[in-house]
Structure 1
Amino acid sequence: MAHEITKERRAALVRLSAQIGVTFSELSLLDEALTHPSYTNEAKDAVPHNERLEFLGDAVLELASSTYLYAQYPECSEGELTKMRASLVQSETLARLARRLHLGSYLRLGRGELHNGGADRQNNLENAFEAVIGAVYLDGGWEAAQDYVTRQLASEVLSVERTHVARDYKTALQEHIQQKRHVSIVYELTGETGPDHDKRFTTRVLISGQPMGEGTGRSKKEAEQQAAAAALAEIIN
């Protein structure tokens, strides 16, 4: 359901929609996509926040990026396409794209979150980027959302050629130490944060019982890869 938007906020959102190349029939969707839960918690009126749109946008992003890569790289295997997609939609990439669009300056944040640098926090920017995708999808449908995602990822795709696929750090770590006998590698989940639809997992890798690296990701597999990368950096350096 659409909610009321002030004249000043509407003008700002119109400028942003022109900047990102999307015309919204329902501008309140874009407003919702850029409203952090901390703002809603402090607001006196029932202002919706962006968690539901982020959930939807995450799914649209995965399908749109998968569709693009499938068509763009017909020679790549399923495993290669999966790694390429992971490189495209990782948290750092989405936050960087959000900064390029200046989404942080349009985010509505609670006083505490704003004071603590929430407008440039990676997690907030990543979620806002995905929420905007969700808003574009609800407002304009699949074709509009696919076009928007493709345009936003275009500059990143150039660096995700087959020879630049994200490394499998777990395999690289295994290969690096496999010549040593009686050396074990164990990945241990040490923490989980966030709601069910936006979990963050923290994992550490132990080599022969000694902790050698820690990583965080949106899945256990991603966290393990980051932990393996940290261990490799520690061993090599």
Structure 2
Amino acid sequence: MAFLQKHRKMNNNLEELKVKLQIESVNDELFNQALTHPSFVNETPDAQTSYQRLEFLGDSVLSLLASEYIFLTFTTIDEGLLTDIRAALVRTEALAKISRKLGIGHYIHLSKGEMSNEGYENEKILADVLEAIIAVVYLDKGYESAKNFFLMHIASELETIMKNKLYVDPKTTFQEYAQANFKKTPRYDLLAYDEKRKHFTVGLYLGSKLFAKGGGKSKKSAQQEAAKKALADN
């Protein structure tokens, strides 16, 4: 009974989220699956499949949608830069930012452990769920509906990416700078990890010299932040 009561509450929340995302008519069962973390399935015997298979499909659908949009938007850019721009748009950090903006985290079905660890703020989970939702729209309503979802909620992030040149990988840029000026390859060491906040702090070193520190929800994002700071200071 407790699960059924919780399940009914979830369904109410799902309808609310559908309205926010402007996808009111998508299949309830698929949409519920898109919001179900594997930990919830493991903890709840009556729960159905997690979002993992949908995320697999959504990743590919999103890549196609982003490729088409970028290709048609930037008609004079070569394929190398187009690839970098697409990577910036579909990377975990960008998708997590969009998920937060849409308020998706509050609707994800998580285990008690993941809830206590603030899994609803975890960048990987937020990005995976967004991709799973894209898969639901694609499966239930077709490519054009998935494209409309992309245009409504994701494409606008491209303006920020281009304005701030986020398609330029700061780690690659700093490595080129370090090798040209110091003949050394940067090293990223983990300095601290806050278990409660799920926050990494890394140091960027050239030899024994600490050039910058960076923080983030993943080691990768912390390394990127450290590289950005190092570039800004040099």
TM-score by length of 1: 0.75
* Alpha-carbon distance in structure 2 between the residues aligned to 1:215 and 1:78: 31
Name the count of aligned residue pairs. 215
Instruction: Give the structure 2 partner of residue 185 of structure 1.
Output: 185
Shift of 1:19: 1.4
- Conserved 8 A contact 1:205-1:228: no
Instruction: Give the structure 1 partner of residue 93 of structure 2.
Output: 92
Q: Aligned partner of 1:147: which letter?
A: N
Instruction: Give the structure 2 partner of residue 57 of structure 1.
Output: 58
Match of 2:226 among 226, 230, 237: 230
**Greater displacement, 151-160 / 6-15:** 6-15
* Alpha-carbon distance in structure 2 between the residues aligned to 1:178 and 1:19: 49
Alignment map for 1:130-149 (pairs within 5 Å): 130-149=131-150
Instruction: Give the structure 2 partner of residue 194 of structure 1.
Output: none
- Conserved 8 A contact 1:173-1:228: no
* Alpha-carbon distance in structure 2 between the residues aligned to 1:229 and 1:114: 27
Q: What 5-or-longer segments of structure 1 have no aligned partner?
A: 191-202, 217-221
Shift of 1:233: 3.4
Instruction: Give the structure 1 partner of residue 45 of structure 2.
Output: 44
SS of corresponding position for 2:71 = helix
Deviations 1:114-170 (A, max 9, x none): 111112221211111111111111111111111111211132122233883522432
Instruction: Give the structure 1 partner of residue 73 of structure 2.
Output: 72
- Conserved 8 A contact 2:92-2:127: yes
Change (3 A) 1:228 1:151: closer
Instruction: Give the structure 2 partner of residue 159 of structure 1.
Output: 160
Change (3 A) 1:93 1:229: closer
Q: Aligned partner of 1:40: which letter?
A: V
* Alpha-carbon distance in structure 2 between the residues aligned to 1:116 and 1:229: 23
Identical pairs, percent = 31
Is 1:117 matched with 2:118?
yes
Instruction: Give the structure 2 partner of residue 31 of structure 1.
Output: 32
Deviations 1:46-105 (A, max 9, x none): 511111111111111111011101111111111111111122112121111111111111
SS of corresponding position for 2:95 = helix
- Conserved 8 A contact 2:203-2:226: no
* Alpha-carbon distance in structure 2 between the residues aligned to 1:83 and 1:226: 19
- Conserved 8 A contact 1:185-1:205: no
* Alpha-carbon distance in structure 2 between the residues aligned to 1:227 and 1:116: 22
Q: Please tell me the root mean square deviation across aligned C-alpha atoms, in Å.
A: 3.4
- Conserved 8 A contact 1:57-1:134: yes
Instruction: Give the structure 1 partner of residue 197 of structure 2.
Output: none
- Conserved 8 A contact 2:99-2:130: yes
* Alpha-carbon distance in structure 2 between the residues aligned to 1:56 and 1:168: 26
Instruction: Give the structure 1 partner of residue 12 of structure 2.
Output: 11
Instruction: Give the structure 1 partner of residue 82 of structure 2.
Output: 81
